Amino acid sequence: MKTHVTGIKSEFPSTNGKNHKPASFRKVKTSLSAAAAIQAFILIFAAITAGCTQGGKNAAMNEKIIALKEATHKGMSLEEALKQRRSIRRYSDREMTEAELAQLLFSGQGVTGSIRGLNLRTAPSAGATYPMELYAVVNNVEGLTPGIYRYLPASHSLELLDSGDFAKALSAACLGQGSVEKAAVNFVITAVPVRITGRYGERSARYVYMEAGHIGQNILLQATSLGLGGVPIGAFNDREVNRILSLEEDREITVYIIAVGTRR
Ligand SMILES: Cc1cc2nc3c(=O)[nH]c(=O)nc-3n(C[C@H](O)[C@H](O)[C@H](O)COP(=O)(O)O)c2cc1C
């Protein structure tokens, strides 16, 4: 396995950061109008694709769309969740329930309002450009085939992209971290720079990391409130994780991973 890792000294492995500023951002010095045109094209294409997958027109795709339970959990106060949140790296073998998964996904990117026809979400987004995607790499969830799923915020549903057991491969890409292998679900937060660079240019590179932090913290606090354990994972081989998710790296890159499992 090709790796970008240097020394492993701290409590968790570190990366040398060589690929932390991806080509997708370095390339944005094209003229703004060209970038805007590309962005418009991709947005239109994405809207058409979303219409097909969420609008019930494509039967083959629909078989892979799973409607999620409504997120109705009423847990502890925010203050209590803030006090109790701790990085938990060891999990039991108990399955995560589908309701818990639905709640966690909603906390990360759920739709909570709209303005002029644009959906707004639990996590803030620079200029409401929403450049982030949220994936659930499912390992041990009641009633769900293990595999890679994409969260579709507008319909609060999951799209199955690839079925299979990815726990070991993802853990290896996260430098062998046991928490990733044992987690019931690993939430992979990615960025699609073209959605934001047309508006914010190179500054977008900062914004997507900030947005990943918002989403990650939401999931971690929600996990705490659900009585689950979670840990943020920053130490991973970018290219390996991108490959596992079959991301087209010129368009989309992994930024952050949140492992969540049932507590021992
Ligand atoms: C950006 C970032 C990356 C992190 N990466 C990892 C990681 O790869 N593996 C891990 O076990 N913990 C990781 N952590 C968790 C920290 O080790 C943890 O937050 C820290 O020890 C403080 O403990 P607490 O979260 O329980 O308050 C990461 C935390 C942050 C904010």
The 10s digit of each residue's pLDDT in 16-31 is: 333 334 445 544 333 3
Q: What is the pLDDT, as a whole number, of residue 25?
A: 55
Whole-number Å distance, alpha carbon 224 to ligand 1 midpoint, is 15
**Mean pLDDT of the chain, nearest integer:** 84
Q: What is the pLDDT, as a whole number, of residue 5?
A: 28
Q: Tell me the residue type at 171.
A: S
32 is a domain residue: yes
Whole-number Å distance, alpha carbon 260 to ligand 1 midpoint, is 13
Average pLDDT over residues 154-159: 98
Look up tokens 């239109």; give the residue: 44
Average pLDDT over residues 8-22: 35
3 is a domain residue: no
Q: What would the DSSP string read from start to end of the chain?
A: ----B----SSS--B--TTSS-HHHHGGGS-HHHHHHHHHHHHHHHHHHHHHHHTT--HHHHTTEEEPPP-----S-HHHHHHH--B---B-SPPBPHHHHHHHHHHHH-EEEEETTEEEESS--GGG---EEEEEEESSBTT--SEEEEEEGGGTEEEEEEES--HHHHHHHTTT-HHHHH-SEEEEEEE-THHHHHHHGGGHHHHHHHHHHHHHHHHHHHHHHTTEEEEEE--S-HHHHHHHTT--TTT-EEEEEEEEEEB-
Residue bearing the CA closest to ligand 1, atom 1 = 234
For residue 170, the cross-strand partners are none
88 is a domain residue: yes
Residue 195 has pLDDT above 60, yes or no: yes
Residues lining ligand 1, Cβ inside 6 A:
11-12, 86-87, 89, 177, 179, 231-235
Whole-number Å distance, alpha carbon 145 to ligand 1 midpoint, is 29
Query: How many domains in the chain?
Result: 1
Looking from the CA of residue 235, the nearest atom of ligand 1 is 8
Out of 12, 14, 238, mutate this one to test ligand 1's pocket (max ligand atoms within 8 Å of CB): namely 12
147 is a domain residue: yes
Residue bearing the CA closest to ligand 1, atom 22 = 87
8 is a domain residue: no
Whole-number Å distance, alpha carbon 230 to ligand 1 midpoint, is 10
Q: What is the pLDDT, as a whole number, of residue 83?
A: 98
12 is a domain residue: no
Q: What's the domain range around 67? A: 23-262
Average pLDDT over residues 196-202: 98
Residue of 212, 193, 188 whose CA lies nearest to 203: 193
CATH number, residue 219: 3.40.109.10
pTM of the model: 0.82
1 is a domain residue: no
Is the separation of the CB atoms in 50 and 61 below 8 Å? no
4 is a domain residue: no
Band (pLDDT 50/70/90 cuts) for residue 145 is very high
Whole-number Å distance, alpha carbon 232 to ligand 1 midpoint, is 5
Residue 49 has pLDDT above 60, yes or no: no
